[in-house]
């Protein structure tokens, strides 16, 4: 078990790149990446700093082998960028001066170990008097056991670091340095703004190139299993596909590209911000077939009774739309009773929908609601419903309405590398994941059409 945890702490020695074949070719991107790797000096050390290989570390690679095509059939749009490590870095090049430091969260550190820069939300603490352009050492704060039996980070965001062994946080980060970089903003700026790069990494324990703002729209950094999952789904142009747990949108866009942007890909996530990320990524890749909705995957199936009611309401809305073209008041007839609806009316007469086969009332719609729909038809959706900071919500989908469904259900992510901490997972939480995934799978079975395809991955 100890050896397993040790291996998980080390990132993969390569980055997996998926090429957007609608905008470029694999060969063209390969040559661009090789030029980028050469410019960043990946094959000759990191920015001229002397690097000493630890036992077991990778040996330097020739430039021609740094970027390689995926050797597996069906994955011709995948490239591998080779990295190296672990490396030993000299953090205290000037012994008479204290080192300026930045402490980041564990999740931020895991991304940095895979080649990312340090972004503002991931910074927990920083030395005083750090200015833009200063050289800083980057370390990670890993969760520690607390008195109540749980795990927590003992650092409050915004903590000032002293850079000395007498610092109360020195032991917490000792031996957990992940690299050095240049501060992209001052200390005050780091804790004042919400977004942006805080530290541009220049020296790393594991050398993997950063792809931030590189070939935007042409490539996407994605784990190979995620690329395979979209390929196994085998989406065809013109089909209707559902990605039930779509964020951050990697598999969604992969599906759209495989369909040649012909058809419809419905992407779901219950987080507003994650739905925005999906839409942003789809826009970067010039994909128009993707529709993203805010919806819990456990509520993906719309109930049949509700579906019947919605159809009835829609039919009456169509009648309102037709009558709205006239200047006179709108008349809606339900069960032989005529009801006047106009902008000046202040009454709240109730309209009752009744199914001929079922005498029980289905739904009550007031005049106020009908007037609201009428105004929306005349004046447009209004600012609150415009595409921008808001996302479209969904009440679910009818059974048998998708040709293929991809369910990449949330899991423990215990096999994700690098993983610097796994203490939050317990046997009970693992069992909970299984129950949660089973419920999602039940939804997927109902949504796919007879003879359709479900791909379940986790």
324 annotated as ligand-binding = no
Report whether 307 belongs to an annotated binding site: no
- Nearest of 38, 37, 50, 39 to residue 81 by alpha carbon: 37
Do the annotations mark residue 248 as ligand-binding? yes
- 381 among the known binding-site residues? no
Q: By the 8 A CB rule, do 361 and 352 touch?
A: yes
CA pair distance 127, 163, nearest whole angstrom: 7
Q: For strand 52-53 and strand 87-88, is the pairing parallel, antiparallel, or unpaired?
A: antiparallel
Is 135 labelled as part of a ligand binding site? no
CA distance 259 to 301: 24
The answer to whether 48 is a known ligand-binding residue is no
Contact 422, 435 (CB under 8 A): no
Binding site annotation covers 243? no
Q: Which tokens hold the place of 184? A: 């992209």
Inter-CA distances, 53 with 45, 85, 86, 205, Å: 11, 7, 7, 10
Beta strands 101-104 and 135-140 are parallel
Q: Which residues, other chains included, contact 184 with Cβ-Cβ below 8 Å and sequence gap of 6+?
A: 132, 196, 197, 198, 199, 200
Q: Is 86 annotated to bind ligand? A: no
Is 44 among the annotated ligand-binding positions?
Answer: no
The answer to whether the annotation marks 250 as part of a ligand binding site is yes
Contact 13, 224 (CB under 8 A): no
Give the residue ranges of the annotated binding site for S-adenosyl-L-methionine. Answer: 245-251, 269, 296, 408
Give the residue ranges of the annotated binding site. Answer: 245-251, 269, 296, 408
């Amino acid at each position: 078990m100890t050896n397993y945890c040790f291996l998980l702490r080390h990132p993969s020695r390569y980055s997996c790149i998926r090429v957007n074949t609608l905008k470029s070719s694999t060969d063209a991107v390969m040559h661009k990446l090789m030029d980028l790797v050469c410019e960043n000096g990946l094959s000759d050390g990191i920015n001229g700093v002397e690097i000493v290989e630890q036992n077991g570390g990778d040996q330097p690679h020739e430039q021609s082998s740094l970027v390689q095509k995926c050797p597996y059939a069906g994955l011709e749009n995948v490239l591998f960028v080779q990295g190296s490590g672990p490396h030993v870095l000299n953090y205290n090049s000037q012994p008479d001066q204290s080192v300026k430091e930045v402490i980041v969260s564990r999740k931020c550190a895991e991304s940095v170990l895979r080649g990312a820069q340090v972004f503002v939300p991931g910074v927990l603490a920083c030395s005083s008097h750090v200015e833009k352009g200063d050289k800083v050492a980057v370390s990670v704060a890993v969760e520690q056991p607390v008195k109540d039996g749980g795990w927590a980070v003992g650092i409050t965001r915004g903590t000032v670091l002293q850079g000395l062994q007498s610092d109360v946080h020195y032991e917490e980060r000792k031996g957990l340095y992940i690299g050095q970089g240049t501060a992209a903003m001052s200390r005050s700026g780091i804790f004042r703004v919400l977004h942006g790069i805080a530290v541009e990494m220049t020296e790393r324990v594991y050398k993997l190139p950063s792809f931030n703002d590189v070939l935007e729209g042409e490539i996407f950094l994605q784990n190979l299993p995620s690329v395979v999952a979209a390929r196994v789904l085998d989406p065809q142009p013109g089909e209707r596909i559902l990605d039930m747990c779509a964020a951050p949108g990697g598999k969604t866009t992969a599906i759209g590209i495989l369909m040649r942007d012909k058809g419809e890909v419905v992407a779901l996530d219950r987080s507003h911000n994650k739905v925005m990320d999906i839409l942003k990524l789809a826009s970067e890749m010039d994909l128009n077939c993707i529709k993203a909705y805010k919806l819990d995957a456990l509520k993906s199936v719309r109930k049949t009774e509700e579906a019947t009611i919605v159809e009835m309401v829609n039919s009456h809305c169509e009648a309102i739309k037709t009558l709205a073209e006239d200047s006179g008041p709108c008349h809606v007839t339900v069960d032989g009773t005529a009801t006047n609806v106009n902008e000046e009316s202040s009454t709240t007469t109730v309209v009752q929908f009744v199914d001929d086969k079922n005498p029980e009332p289905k739904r009550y719609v007031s005049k106020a609601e009908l007037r609201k729909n009428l105004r929306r038809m005349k004046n447009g959706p209004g600012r609150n419903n415009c595409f921008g900071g808001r996302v479209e919500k969904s009440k679910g989908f009818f059974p048998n309405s998708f040709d293929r469904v991809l369910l990449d259900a949330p899991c423990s992510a215990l096999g994700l590398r690098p993983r610097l901490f796994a203490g939050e997972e317990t046997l009970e939480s693992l069992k909970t994941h299984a129950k949660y995934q089973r419920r999602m799978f039940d939804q997927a079975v109902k949504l796919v059409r007879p003879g359709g395809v479900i791909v379940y991955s986790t």
